[in-house]
Structure 1
Amino acid sequence: MVTADTSDGPVLRAMGEEAVLLELGSLDDVLLVHRALVASRPDGLVDLVPAARTVLAVTDARGPALAAVGAWLLMTAERVLRSGEGDPIGSAAGASDRPEVVIPVRYDGADLLETAALLGMDADGLVARHTGCVWTVAFSGFAPGFAYLVGGAAWPLEVPRLSVPRMAVPAGAVALAGAFSGVYPRSSPGGWRIIGRTDTVLWDTAADPPARLVPGDRVRFVQVTA
């Protein structure tokens, strides 16, 4: 098993017998490295799963040996981070392979006015900023179909979470927290600030893939009134 654990570079960790985890320094690093990994993935690799600071590579008995996967992860990460290849948001993994996803939103969320005030603008200004940004799916988590969306330089805003999370957020709620936007795919507890709602289905077990949004997808929110 290839490993690396240095203070100034990627860190590789074994995750059982069929996976290896690449730890990186930032979400921007993840976006850049994940894009390069998707473009060069070896035959037999089962999955690549990005997160806020990591990329998980999963293989099986028919795929490449873990040592080879580890070497590929490290070499790719070191090459990309050394050269600073591309824009982590503007050219995220998979963006050129899938059409932009348009999500219609009714901006009538319970936290819209308060969130706008926290950001030093009115509700119309917040809606304009949210719809004027092309978002990128950085990674998925929290619940099946929940995508963490980042806006790069077009969205430099940080939104504080609710001090007391809601016990139930309705499916389709469009929300903000930290540097992220997201849409709740089903009813669940949550502490993100709700600014709108959509009828777009984000998780469908009969679809392939079941998640409407996958890492690398580009997303644009469009305001609707009905």
Structure 2
Amino acid sequence: MTVRVLPYGESALLVEPDDAEGVLALAGAARQLAGVTEVVPAARTVLLVLDPGVDVGEVRRRLLELVVGPAAHADRAEVVLDVVYDGPDLATTAAEVGLDPDGLVRAHISAAHTVAFCGFVPGFAYCRGLPERVQVPRLREPRTRVPAGSVAIAGEFSGVYPRASPGGWRLLGRTDAVLWDLGREPPALLSPGTPVRFRAVDR
């Protein structure tokens, strides 16, 4: 894997791997570097926050020398999310990709999802693994309010809205899972690298 390393202020570096699929592997390897205090993966970049006063040039040199293997998730327990697939966008999205609603549900639940990164609101995880044939863009006009627990897709990602908020993703269903709980340690149910399986239920 080759990477591009860019300065990000006085004590941080922004790293761009040549392959977006390598973001999690790069993030895992970068956590082992001395002087790195925080690693924040995103869709196609990894932000490294460094100790104040650390030699940024030295960290950059060691980054470029890193041998990054495949991302290892064996130590992460799979999170299973039970979903009632009755979302308002299920039928129209299925038709758009040439499937019936049941076909879209089967495609969604059969995929191997992995949390790529988190953002937007606390607890919102962007899960990679959605089959290319069912990838669709966001809605042209976002909703002003999406209910908490809504299971949705947009582009290459699946996600679950942790709380009611505006949003433009396609709503396929809903889950009772609590994605963000300040009384839990850690508060987020899903974190980068976590395998996720969506399971269809009736209720």
TM-score, with structure 1 as normaliser: 0.81
Q: Distance in 1 between matches of 2:48 and 2:183?
A: 25
- Give the direction of change, closer, same or farther, for the CA distance of 1:60–1:208 in structure 2 (3 Å limit): farther
Q: Which residue of 2 aligns with 1:199?
A: 176
Q: Which residue of 2 aligns with 1:163?
A: 140
Q: Unmatched 5+ residue regions in structure 2?
A: none
Quick check: 1:12–1:20 contact (8 Å CA) kept in 2?
A: yes
* Cα distance per residue 1:74-114 (max 9 Å; x no partner): 222xx43xxxx44xxxxx35x11221001110101010000
Q: Which residue of 2 aligns with 1:54?
A: 45
Q: Which deviates more, 112-121 or 67-76?
A: 67-76
* Cα distance per residue 1:151-208 (max 9 Å; x no partner): 16xx123212111110111111000101110001111111100000011111122222
Q: Would you say how many aligned residue pairs link Structure 1 and Structure 2?
A: 202
Pick the aligned partner of 1:118 from 85, 96, 105: 96
Q: Unmatched 5+ residue regions in structure 1?
A: 1-7, 87-91
Which letter does structure 2 place at the counterpart of 1:58?
V
Q: Which residue of 2 aligns with 1:215?
A: 192
1:147-186 maps to which residues of 2 (within 5 A)?
147-151=125-129, 155-157=131-133, 158-186=135-163
Q: Which residue of 2 aligns with 1:23?
A: 16
* Residue 67 of structure 1 pairs with residue 57 of structure 2: yes
Q: Compute the RMSD of aligned alpha carbons.
A: 2.1
Identity %: 51
Q: Distance in 2 between matches of 1:72 and 1:49?
A: 18
| Higher relative strand content | 2
* Cα distance per residue 1:19-57 (max 9 Å; x no partner): 21112334213234224334xx13553221111121011
Pick the aligned partner of 1:146 from 107, 124, 132: 124
* Residue 189 of structure 1 pairs with residue 179 of structure 2: no
Q: Which residue of 2 aligns with 1:136?
A: 114
Quick check: 2:145–2:164 contact (8 Å CA) kept in 1?
A: yes
Runs of 4+ displaced beyond 6 Å: none
- Give the direction of change, closer, same or farther, for the CA distance of 1:65–1:206 in structure 2 (3 Å limit): farther
Q: Which deviates more, 143-152 or 180-189?
A: 143-152
